Amino acid sequence: NMVARVRAVTPAQFEDFLARQRRDTQAADEAAAEQRREIEGTPDQDANTDDSPTP
């Protein structure tokens, strides 16, 4: 069985909710972008080692 709960709000309350959701989503997007920059900026130690024999 699926149960749903509905809450009636005024249009102004709904607009406030949407604005809050947009701010929260934007903040999360910015935090994720910062984490990606940190990860991509850190060199992969295994990828930077050259184990080939020297002549």
How high is the pLDDT of residue 19?
Answer: 99
Nearest to 31 by CA among 23, 19, 21: 23
How high is the pLDDT of residue 45?
Answer: 53
How high is the pLDDT of residue 41?
Answer: 85
How high is the pLDDT of residue 43?
Answer: 60
CA distance linking residue 37 with residue 25, whole number of Å? 18
pLDDT tens, position by position, 3-49: 999 999 999 999 999 999 999 999 999 999 999 999 998 665 555 55
CA distance linking residue 29 with residue 32, whole number of Å? 5
| The model's pTM | 0.58
